[in-house]
Each structure stands twice: as structure tokens, then as C-alpha cells.
Amino acid sequence: SQIYVACQNGRVDQALSLGFLLCWIAGDLTNFVGCYLTNQLPIQIVTAIFYVNMDIIMISQFVYYKLKNQKMTKCKVFQ
């Protein structure tokens, strides 16, 4: 639901920091590696993969809206 709300308002770059998102994905990646190396249940591995994918989507949103909002700011300055 956070991803949907972020798409609606277009302000992901102001709500979260890139450092926070990178720490978040680092934690989820280490969770996935730990699940894989210790032969956890398949549902745990699938859940870890799901979380990594959601992190990638959130980072992509962050970068997209950061660039989009910078362009809009530059256009407003020139008007």
C-alpha cells in the first residue's frame, strides 16, 4: 500500500531518504542470503525474495520521482 500511495502523491523523494532505502535493501538481501545458505523452508526464501523485490521497486520509485521533481523545479525556475 505504501508503494501505491507514493505513486498517487509523487513525493517519495521527500518521504524517505536514499540511505534508509539502501540500509533496508541491505538487510533484506542478507536475510535472503541467510535463508538460502541455511536451507530454510521454501516459503521463507520466497518471502525474502518478495521483500527484496519490493525494496527494488521503492528505490526505483525514489529515483524516478527525485529526477522528475528536479526537472519540474528547473522548469519552474526558468518560467
Identify the pLDDT of residue 41.
96
Three-class secondary structure of residue 24 per DSSP? helix
Question: In whole angstroms, what is the distance from residue 30 CA to residue 3 CA?
Answer: 22
Listed as ranges, residues in the chain with pLDDT below 70 are: 1-3, 6-7, 10, 13, 73-79
Question: In whole angstroms, what is the distance from residue 29 CA to residue 35 CA?
Answer: 10
Identify the pLDDT of residue 77.
61
Sketch the domain layout of the chain as residue ranges: 1-76
Alpha carbon 50 to chain centroid distance?
Answer: 12
Question: In whole angstroms, what is the distance from residue 55 CA to residue 21 CA?
Answer: 7
